[in-house]
Amino acid sequence: MTRTPPQRPATGARPTPEELAAAQDATIEDVAAPGLRVLFCGINPGLWSGATGQHFARPGNRFWPALHRSGFTPRQLRPAEQRELLGFGLGITNVVARTTAKAAELTAEEYREGGLALAARVRRLQPRVLAVLGIGAYRAAFGRPRAAVGPQPEPIGGTGVWLLPNPSGLNAHYTLDGLAAEFRALREHLEREEE
């Protein structure tokens, strides 16, 4: 059973060890609304996110810098400013809602159930694109073992699906510039469709 930990003020201060421990198995609120341009989807929230209530909150996570460098936002937002994404037609959700110290703590069943719940959420919210940030998570949640970065052939309802690399600082396969280039490819695709 997941729970929401007490939310702390958005001061930018590091969560204490006690706050991080209390965030285990918690959930955080999506930043989402109907009709977004892009609904970005992380694997699951980490303990920093659980302790702060902010997506991609751990220092070293490259989501916010990649989002800015790719041109999705005019400046680099901080995790505490996540609600500002809605004004740009962007949002954030996760494949699995439960917070963990590492994604390796998630089970295959959690991924499958998370994929079903995510598909239902996408059908309800109808973003133009669902951008899943994590190749392994997408493969496990949607049973697509050969999926690669870029557009996916199977939409969810009327929503296109685009696979992006995991922005975690632990993902050594992509530099920040490489991540930003993949994010930019999605942004440019959207802009071509909007012309």
CB 156 within 8 A of CB 123: yes
Angle (nearest 5°) at CA 182 between 189 and 167: 135
165 band by pLDDT with thresholds 50, 70 and 90: very high
**Does residue 150 sit in helix, strand or coil?**
strand
pLDDT in tens, 115-156: 999 999 999 999 999 999 999 999 999 999 999 999 999 999
Domain-by-domain residue ranges, the chain?
Answer: 17-194
Res 9 pLDDT > 50: no
CA distance 145 to 123: 23
Res 2 pLDDT > 60: no
CB 8 within 8 A of CB 15: yes
What is the model's pLDDT at position 195?
85
β-sheet bridge partners, residue 100: 46
**Does residue 192 sit in helix, strand or coil?**
helix
Instruction: Output 175 or 1, whichever has higher pLDDT.
Output: 175
Average pLDDT, the chain: 93
Res 1 pLDDT > 80: no
Q: How far is CA 65 from CA 46, 69, 70, 75, 141, in A?
A: 18, 6, 8, 9, 26
pTM (2 d.p.):
0.93
Which CATH number is 17-194's, of 3.40.470.10, 3.90.25.10, 3.40.1190.20, 3.30.450.20? 3.40.470.10
What is the model's pLDDT at position 183?
98
What is the model's pLDDT at position 155?
97
Q: What separation, in Å, do the N-terminal and C-terminal C-alpha atoms of the chain show? A: 46
CA distance 154 to 13: 41
What is the model's pLDDT at position 194?
87
Indicate the residue type of 87.
G
CB 189 within 8 A of CB 150: no
